[in-house]
Structure 1
């Protein structure tokens, strides 16, 4: 694939022999738009809209690149990330979600994702992340600090992920009622 990587040097798609990409998202219009956009950037794109189809696709032909939605109708994108990481550990995958939070970002990276982006993310952002040097270590500072509500929500999500997304167990650890936790989890992250 690539022999040497310099820390500050972004990569180019031309540096890769295998340009195969799997995009997994249950939002069909978004899936089609992103698929077309990544194809115009030079990737060999395949698209699926379920966890089961993604895992089957990975089992038959693991891609070099992947863009995976976190929440899918039939399960979690983390299962797809795990499957890809098991079959092709060097693959570069990006987790996308409309429910961006630190806990799921950490879970995605621990399961093998290269990086994590919150929706709405455009094709240029995704391509830039996929081509970023893994050695650069540069992290952009946030535009604005988190609110107190957001910090609380991040903590709740971290505990929820640590409990393997088990609502009853997480509610017990957080010392709150299960229904309260379910209501918090059903809402979007505060700003």
Structure 2
């Protein structure tokens, strides 16, 4: 399926959860988008040989790969592309990295088509966003630190555990309690 780069209704979904990807695809097709789905960075790169989306939805964690690398590739392909990153657990570290690499917006799952489409339309930040006066808990600070190191190691669990000075199984248990996607 070949589309022109200027067609703004072309959408690429990079998501390894097949059921979720299928649901998003159908929902966006009902809204008039031409949609392609890739389940990995490799599938995404193969699709980009013939498909030029104006929009992309990228899962942060794609099996053992990071969706941040996909964001970087997509931004290099088309600086005007609207890219939304989805994740099962939002952390400040990955949100910052996603935006620095070119994502337009960062949403925590579960997000629906309305949330994603609204994020595509948000071009500017909102200075009126209320500040959270509640201090972060120790668990939140710990989780954000773990997630920051996960990003630095490209989601390599063994290397992350080594850098954090904890046993790999301990880290795996912590990650199971708070899913990252």
TM-score category (smaller protein): 0.7 to 0.9
What does residue 39 of structure 2 align with? 49
Matching of residue 91 in structure 1 with residue 78 in structure 2: no
Cα distance between partner residues in 2 of 1:47 and 1:62: 13
Change (3 A) 1:128 1:150: same
Q: How does 1:97-136 map onto structure 2 within 5 Å?
A: 97-134=87-124, 136=126
How far is 1:172 from its partner?
A: 4.7
Cα distance between partner residues in 1 of 2:59 and 2:28: 15
Matching of residue 151 in structure 1 with residue 144 in structure 2: no
Contact 1:58 1:83 in 2 (8 A): no
| TM-score (norm: length of structure 2) | 0.79
Q: Which runs of 5+ in 1 are unaligned?
A: 1-15
What is the CA RMSD across the aligned residues, in angstroms? 2.8
Contact 1:100 1:189 in 2 (8 A): no
Q: How many residues align?
A: 175
For the residue of structure 1 that corresponds to 2:48, the secondary structure is: helix
| TM-score (norm: length of structure 1) | 0.76
